[in-house]
Structure 1
Amino acid sequence: MKSFVVLSLLATALAAPANTFQERQLDLSSLTSALKSTSSGAAGSSGSTGSTGTATTSGSSGLSALASLFPSSSATTSSSGSTSSSGSDDGLSGIISSFTSGSSTENGVTSHTGACKELTFIFARGTTEIGNMGTVVGPEVASKLQSLTGNQVTVQGVNYAADWAGIMSMGSDGGTEMVTYVKEALSQCPNTKVVLGGYSQGSMVVHYAANQLSAGQVTAAVLFGDPFKMLSVGKLASSKVKEFCASGDPVCENGMNVMAHLSYGSDATAAAEFLVQAAGVSS
Structure 2
Amino acid sequence: MMCQHGYMLFERFRGFLAAVLPAVAATLPIVVAPPASADPCPDIEVIFARGTGADPGLGFVGDALVNSLRSKVGGQSVGTYAVNYPAGWNFDTSAPAGAADASARVQWMADNCPNTKLVLGGMSQGAGVIDLITVDATPPGRFTATPLPPRLADHVAAVAVFGNPLRTMRGGGPLPAMSRTFGPKTIDMCALDDIFCSPGKSLPAHFAYVENGMTDQAADFVAARVR
Tell me the TM-score normalized by structure 2.
Answer: 0.68
Q: Please tell me whether the aligned partners of residues 124 and 202 of structure 1 are also in contact (alpha carbons under 8 angstroms).
A: yes
Is the partner of 1:276 in helix, strand or coil? helix
Query: Aligned pair in 2 of structure 1 residues 233, 125: CA closer, same or farther (>3 Å)?
Result: farther
1:120-159 superposed matches below 5 A: 120-135=45-60, 137-149=61-73, 150=75, 152-159=77-84
Structure 1 unaligned residues grouped into runs of 5+: 1-111
Deviations 1:54-93 (A, max 9, x none): xxxxxxxxxxxxxxxxxxxxxxxxxxxxxxxxxxxxxxxx
Q: 1:267 pairs with 209, 214, 226, which one?
A: 214
Q: Please tell me whether the aligned partners of residues 85 and 94 of structure 2 are also in contact (alpha carbons under 8 angstroms).
A: no
Tell me if 1:188 matches 2:126: no
Give the Å deviation of 1:151: 5.2
CA distance in 2 between partners of 1:189 and 1:116 (Å): 6
Q: Please tell me whether the aligned partners of residues 159 and 182 of structure 2 are also in contact (alpha carbons under 8 angstroms).
A: no
Q: 1:255 pairs with 200, 205, 214, which one?
A: 200
1:102-251 superposed matches below 5 A: 113-135=38-60, 137-149=61-73, 150=75, 152-165=77-90, 167-169=91-93, 171-210=95-134, 211-215=146-150, 216-229=154-167, 230=173, 231=175, 232=177, 234-251=179-196
Higher helix content, 1 or 2: 2
Percent identity between the aligned chains?
32
Is the partner of 1:159 in helix, strand or coil? coil
CA distance in 1 between partners of 2:180 and 2:105 (Å): 18
CA distance in 1 between partners of 2:178 and 2:155 (Å): 13
Is the partner of 2:165 in helix, strand or coil? coil
Q: Please tell me whether the aligned partners of residues 114 and 155 of structure 2 are also in contact (alpha carbons under 8 angstroms).
A: no
Query: Aligned pair in 2 of structure 1 residues 140, 151: CA closer, same or farther (>3 Å)?
Result: farther
Larger radius of gyration: 2
Deviations 1:147-166 (A, max 9, x none): 2223511111111100111x
Tell me the TM-score normalized by structure 1.
Answer: 0.55
Is the partner of 1:243 in helix, strand or coil? strand
Q: Residue 6 of structure 2 corresponds to which residue in structure 1?
A: none
CA distance in 2 between partners of 1:178 and 1:199 (Å): 14
Q: Please tell me whether the aligned partners of residues 119 and 193 of structure 1 are also in contact (alpha carbons under 8 angstroms).
A: yes
Give the Å deviation of 1:234: 4.8
Root-mean-square deviation (CA, aligned residues, Å) is: 1.9
CA distance in 1 between partners of 2:133 and 2:39 (Å): 25
CA distance in 1 between partners of 2:180 and 2:95 (Å): 17
Which one-letter code corresponds to 2:118 in the other structure?
V
Q: 2:224 pairs with 265, 272, 277, which one?
A: 277
Of 112-121 and 177-186, more deviation after overlay is shown by: 112-121
Runs of 4 or more off by more than 3 Å in structure 1?
A: 231-235
CA distance in 2 between partners of 1:113 and 1:259 (Å): 41
Query: Aligned pair in 2 of structure 1 residues 217, 159: CA closer, same or farther (>3 Å)?
Result: same
Structure 2 unaligned residues grouped into runs of 5+: 1-36, 135-145, 168-172
Query: Aligned pair in 2 of structure 1 residues 132, 241: CA closer, same or farther (>3 Å)?
Result: same
What is the number of residues matched between the two proteins?
A: 167
Which one-letter code corresponds to 2:56 in the other structure?
G
Give the Å deviation of 1:276: 1.4
